[in-house]
Amino acid sequence: MSGLREIAEFVARSTFGVDQQRREVVEQAWVEEGRFEFHLNGEVVREAEGRDTILSRLEAAWQTRPVGASRHVITNLWVEHCDEETATVFYYLTLVSGRDQPPRIIATGVYRDYLVRRDGAWRWRERLLELDGPIG
Give the DSSP letter of residue 41.
Answer: T
Cα distance between residue 121 and residue 29, in whole Å: 9
pTM to 2 decimals? 0.93
Strands 105-118 and 30-40, how do they pair?
A: unpaired
Question: Contact at 8 Å (CB) between 131 and 108?
Answer: yes
Looking at residues 52-70, what average pLDDT do you find? 94
| pLDDT for 3 | 86
Kindly tell me if the per-residue pLDDT of 1 is higher than 60.
no
| Average pLDDT, rounded, for the chain | 95
Looking at residues 96-108, what average pLDDT do you find? 90
| pLDDT for 68 | 87
* Domain boundary assignment for the chain: 3-131
**What is the pLDDT confidence band of residue 98, given thresholds at 50, 70 and 90?**
confident
- In 3D space, the residue among 124, 116, 113 whose CA is nearest the CA of residue 88 turns out to be 113
| pLDDT for 62 | 95
**What is the pLDDT confidence band of residue 61, given thresholds at 50, 70 and 90?**
very high
Cα distance between residue 119 and residue 104, in whole Å: 39
Burial class (CB in 10 A: 0-12, 13-18, 19+), 126: middle
3-131, which class in CATH?
alpha beta
Kindly tell me if the per-residue pLDDT of 95 is higher than 90.
yes
